Amino acid sequence: MDRKLRMSVIILTRDGKGIEHCLSSVRESGKELGVQPEVSVVSDVPSEELKELCEKYGANYMVFKATPSKKRNYAVEKTNCDLIVFCDDDVVVPKNWLRAILHHFEDEKVAVVGGPNINPPDSTLRERCSGYIFESFFGGACMAVRYRTVSQSFESRTGEEFILCNMAVRRSVFDEVGGFSENLYPCEENYLCYIIKEKGYKLVYEPRAFVWHKRRPLFIPHAKQVFNYGLGRAKMMRMLRKFRPLYFLPSTFVVGLIAGAVMSIFISIVRVIYLATLTIYTLMALASSVHMSIKHKDPKAFFLLFPGFFVHHVAYGLGFIKGLFAGLGESS
């Protein structure tokens, strides 16, 4: 590790429950690298148990209840390291994680390095299915690469591939653009990446820098998470004043689902189009469910994936619609 590049790993948590696996794996990754990074844990509530864990693993212990964007900005302010690495408390990292990230920062134009977050080996069926939906093209589209590994690293054009449970930022650039927007959650990392890219810096996706990330199981916990993703994505686009047609597809599907059902009662041609569209969607959901079940050799997953895709798209679409009309200063 270049001694000029000091690393700080920032981990957010609500109360510290389950965080020891994360802290232990980060320390092991530091051992493999040969230099331990500074580690800071930011908790919503005070906890003696968490404080003791931080002491055990040599981590800074902070209590600061706020939105995730504010908590991360607060933690960054408390460090003077050159590279800031963000992860979540339910993440476990492999031994080569920090080495895979650090390698790319040898190029001074690289400002952000991130990698995928994949299903942990001990995931339940409902948790696995949540991950399968995210990593499929039908469920994740251009952001599916966040949830599965690819063969080679690449330079991102938009920053859509990055997620804050596994992302590193050069501190000088983070300060230059003013850190995370505290009016935005989630998707604040994608907004940050877009601004950084506009400044002329490089964003690098590194598949070897993957983490295992616990999923929210189907159906309700997954739907709540995806609803918030849609909400944040719409707010982000409003802030940037840049709109991608792809992001409107789930909300268009939701509107069409309701309006089409009503209009098809009175207009025969609408009824034909409506039924044809539903048939096409059903076939695509079936094909994607079969594909992911076979890919992961998980036949039981099929029976949850088929309705899961529908829940996924409707939840995202509803969240996106709300985000288009909600106030930008509203917290989610």
CATH superfamily, region 7-217:
Spore Coat Polysaccharide Biosynthesis Protein SpsA; Chain A (3.90.550.10)
First CA to last CA distance, the chain:
39
- Confidence tier at 246 by pLDDT (50, 70, 90): confident
Give pLDDT tens digits for 7-61.
Answer: 999 999 999 999 999 999 999 999 999 989 999 999 999 999 999 999 999 999 9
pLDDT at 1: 44
- Antiparallel, parallel or unpaired: β 91-92 and 7-13: unpaired
- Confidence tier at 304 by pLDDT (50, 70, 90): very high
d(CA 136, CA 143): 9
Residue 67 near residue 39, CB atoms below 8 Å? no
pLDDT at 326: 78
Residue ranges of the chain that CATH labels 3.90.550.10: 7-217
pLDDT at 242: 83
d(CA 6, CA 171): 10
DSSP 62-99: EE--S-HHHHHHHHHHT---SEEEEEETTEE--TTHHH
